[in-house]
Amino acid sequence: MNVRRFSPATFFIVLATYLFYTGSATEYDLITGSIVAFIVSVIVGHWLVKNELKFFSPKRWLYAIVYFLRYFFIEETKTHIDVAKRVFTLKANPGIVRIPLEVENDYGKVLVANSITNTPGTVVVDISDDGKWLYVHWIDVSTLDEKEVKENVVAYFEDYAKKIFD
């Protein structure tokens, strides 16, 4: 029998999301957001967060902050510049590559897949049924060697996904 219980991690995620999308933190927003967050955390919290202690780990939050800052300000900028160069030089060698995935946690797999897809020049087309392989459309298939492809496309994302979620 699965007893529903209050999930503090889900409560804080839902409350933060609510406040973010309302665009303010007035007394009304805090009360309404807290009520909504409480109800959601009781109903679905046990499905979303398996280990509350992992959620509240400062080390994981630090890794997440470093990841997102580096990703959005450095990695994204580099890849936008690369794709812009390819557009002007008409230099592209597109194709679909199979990349091994080592992340165990579903949230980590989603982070890796979304990061790849959000990066210009790459799109995750599929993930294997066993969750061990990603199929990625890559703008410049310069090699078919799995280790090199992994290093070029997913290594950075996967390293941080493991630190944050596994």
State the pLDDT at residue 6. Answer: 84
* Confidence band for 2, pLDDT divided at 50, 70 and 90: low
DSSP 23: T
State the pLDDT at residue 7. Answer: 87
Write down the domain spans for the chain: 8-52, 57-165
Among 69, 81, 127, smallest CA distance to 103 is for: 127
* Confidence band for 47, pLDDT divided at 50, 70 and 90: confident
Sign of CA dihedral 136, 142, 146, 152: negative
State the pLDDT at residue 70. Answer: 92
Residues found in the chain: 166
Kindly report the average pLDDT of the chain as a whole number. 90
Calpha distance 139→161 (Å, rounded): 23
Q: Which helix (H) or strand (E) holds 134?
A: strand 133-138
User: With contact defined as beta carbons under 8 Å apart, do 161 and 106 qualify?
Assistant: no
User: With contact defined as beta carbons under 8 Å apart, do 131 and 110 qualify?
Assistant: no
- What are the φ/ψ torsions at residue 129 (nearest 5 degrees)? -60, -35
User: With contact defined as beta carbons under 8 Å apart, do 130 and 103 qualify?
Assistant: no
- Taking 60 as the threshold, does the pLDDT of residue 3 lie above it? no
